[in-house]
Structure formats: structure tokens, C-alpha cells
Amino acid sequence: MKAWFVRAGRNGENEALALDEEIAVIGWSELGDLSGIETKEALKNLIVAKHPELSTAQIGQAVAQVWAFCHDIVIGDIIALPLKTRGVIALGTCSGPYLYRPELTDQDAVHTRAVDWKARDLSRTRFDEDLLLSLNSGRTVGQIQRENAVPRLRALMVGDSVQLTEAEIAEANVVASSISDLTDVPPDIERTARDQIASLIGRRFRTYSLESLIRSILEARGYFVHQTRPGKDGGADLLAGRGELGFESPFLCVQVKSSSEAVGTETLQLLQAAVDDFGASHGLLVSWGGFRESLYNKRREKFFHIRLWDSDDIVAALLDIYDKLPEDIRAELPLKRVWIVASS
């Protein structure tokens, strides 16, 4: 058994398709049906014919990734889908062979593998840093070769500790695949940096301290914030309004969940009730562990009343006003702004 990541579009455009259809997908639709391609040399010749502009290194990377998707991944292997559209990772097991689906040409998703998605909304904060480094690779398809990656991912996938035999662990830890011999694709540096910042926040701000961080972020954005008493908050951890005393709209009712577990629609309903009780105009639901898929599906109908912040949103909000944060907060989260050349 091995563990792999398979992305769903450069900007996550096929993530919903992958989860809804219970599949893993890659691009390269112009290659046509790959069912009859039985050697890497034949695949290489096909890619060269379709893309003569590619360099030797790019051709090698393309061959390795497409071949791995069609042949190296086997039924029972773990598949990870790091979502770009929200800060979660889906985990499942491969449940079928390569299948060409021409009806998905318009989505550039004709190359598919059936996947039993067992966990669709795992917060990135639940993954160890070394696993995130693998998941942040610039490749579309790659083997996750960290030590004991398979049992650790299986434990996250099923929500419990999973024991593998010594033989299974040895097989999972073998650093050998059709991809590993190639020059690596540069990692997503920005994604890696955000994961490191999130990890630091998770270590420095736990339980009620996360409320204090959110309060500081809102204050830096011009809100007057009242922090309620722990345990007797009436469904609102923070109350915020504009102006010197907070009497100017918008009026916010904020609920902060610091657990690593994703929250569901029942938490949203409690916040909505608190918004009504406090006479607020809007609600902000902050969940360090992210949100279940069912709650995300309600974002559209609540668009003008409720906002959702997961760990990614917290990091984004923090970076937006970092220089305005109190000195003690910045001391807990020492960050340095740098400029780098964007990848072409």
C-alpha cells in the first residue's frame, strides 16, 4: 500500500467534480484515451507529439505523473486531495482502475480513477508538517514518501489509530517510484509558509487564547470589541461594532471554535440564534478545525448574513493587518515579510 496526492486543477476548478463523482482526475485531455498505452516510451512519444514545445525535463515530469496516475496507483492505495478552494484535505482509497471519460472533456478531466472519499473536510492543521510539505509539492500527482505516511494518513482518514503490519510499513516507506528519480518540481512556497504560520498559531494560541487573537485582528480592522465571559457567552464569544464605542454598523456576533475538529450546521444555527438574540446585523463563525462539507454548502444562502473563517482565513486576515497588531501579539507570532520572484 502506498499514499499519493492527486490535485484537481491548477486552481482547484475540478475539486467539486472529484468529490461529487467520487473520482480522482488529472488534466491532459488532449492525449485522448490512455487505456492502450502500455509503455512509458509510448506515453512519452504521445506527449512529445502533442506538446513539442516542452523541454526534456518537462516531458519527463509529465510522463512520470501521467504514468503514475494510470499505472502506479493501485486499488487500495490512499489518495489525498489538497483543496485549493478551502483549507482542507480530502482523503480516500483508490477503488478502481484507470477510466477514460470523454463526457468530461469540457472540464479537462477525462482521465479518472474511482476513489472512495472517506474524509472530505480534514483541516490542514490536523496534518503533521512533514506530510504538508509533501502535499505542497508543485506536482499534480506524487507519492507521499514520508516515514510511516500510510498509517498516519489512514488514522486521519478513519478518525482512529490504525495498525499496519511490519511488512506494510516497510513497503510504504520504500522511497521508490517512477517520479522520485526526476528533478523535483518546485514546491508551493506560499502554501508552505501559510501552513507554518498556522502551525505557530496552533501552538501559541489555544482554547480561549484564540478568541484573543481574533479580537486583536478585528480591533486592528477598526472594530470596538467586547469579549464575553467564558462559558456564559450566550452563543457569542465576541461582540463587535464600528466607531469609538462600537455603536456604528455593521454589528458582529462572533463565535470562535478552537478545536481541531470541523464544525457542522448545528454550530451555524446556534450562531444565527445568537445574532438574533443580540440584535447583531451579521455573524462571524471562526473554526480552527474548519467546517464540514454540509455547512460549506450553506454559505451561499447565508452570504449576506454570515461569514466563515477557517485556519486559512485566520492566517489571511492576520497577514493583512499584521503591522497593526499589538506588540504582544506580534511577539507571539514573529513574522517577516519577504519578496520572491513569482513562478512562471
Q: What is the mean pLDDT of residues 110-137?
A: 93
More confident: 218 or 145: 218
Q: What is the mean pLDDT of residues 147-151?
A: 91
pLDDT over threshold 80, residue 168: no
Residue 175 CA: distances (Å) to CA of 80, 139, 144 = 18, 17, 9
Selection from 258, 253, 132 nearest residue 204 by Cα: 258
What pLDDT was estimated at residue 181?
Answer: 36
What pLDDT was estimated at residue 299?
Answer: 82
148: left (phi over 0), alpha (psi -120 to 50) or beta: left
Least confident of 125-134, 205-214, 237-246, 330-339: 205-214
Give burial (CB, 10 Å; 0-12/13-18/19+) of 142: buried
Pairing type for strands 111-123 and 141-143 reads unpaired
Tell me the residue type at 210. L
What pLDDT was estimated at residue 233?
Answer: 57
Tell me the residue type at 8. A
Selection from 24, 208, 203, 204 nearest residue 129 by Cα: 203
C-alpha–C-alpha distance, residues 310 and 268, integer Å? 13
C-alpha–C-alpha distance, residues 28 and 35, integer Å? 14
pLDDT over threshold 90, residue 178: no
Cβ atoms of 283 and 252 within 8 Å: the answer is: yes
Length of the chain, please? 344
What pLDDT was estimated at residue 165?
Answer: 58
Per-residue pLDDT tens for 35-50?
999 999 999 999 999 9
What pLDDT was estimated at residue 338?
Answer: 86
Selection from 201, 198, 181, 184 nearest residue 134 by Cα: 184
